[in-house]
Structure 1
Amino acid sequence: MTTIDPSLALAIDRVGSASELARKLGITPAAVLQWQRVPVSRVLSVERISGISRHVLRPDFYPPSEAAE
Structure 2
Amino acid sequence: MTLEAFGKLFKPAVDKSTVLRWENGKLPVRRVLEIEKVTGIDRRMLAPKMFKGLEAAE
Q: Same fold (TM over 0.5)?
A: yes
Q: Which runs of 5+ in 2 are unaligned?
A: none
Provide the rounded CA distance (Å) in 2 between the counterparts of 1:40 and 1:68.
Answer: 17
Normalising to structure 1: TM-score of the pair? 0.61
Cα RMSD between the aligned structures? 2.2
Q: How many residues align?
A: 54
Indicate the structure whose relative CO is greater, using CA pairs within 8 Å and at least 6 residues apart.
1
Deviations along 1:28-60, one digit per CA (max 9) or x if unpaired, are 112111231233220011011111100100111
What percent of counterpart residues are identical?
33
Q: Which runs of 5+ in 1 are unaligned?
A: 1-15
Letter in 2 for 1:18: L
Does 1:33 find its partner at 2:20? yes
Provide the rounded CA distance (Å) in 2 between the counterparts of 1:54 and 1:34.
Answer: 17
Q: 2:37 aligns with which of 44, 48, 59?
A: 48
Counterpart position of 2:6: 21
Higher helix proportion: 1
68 and 22 in structure 1: CA distance in 2 versus 1, 3 angstrom threshold: closer
Counterpart position of 2:48: 59
Letter in 2 for 1:20: A
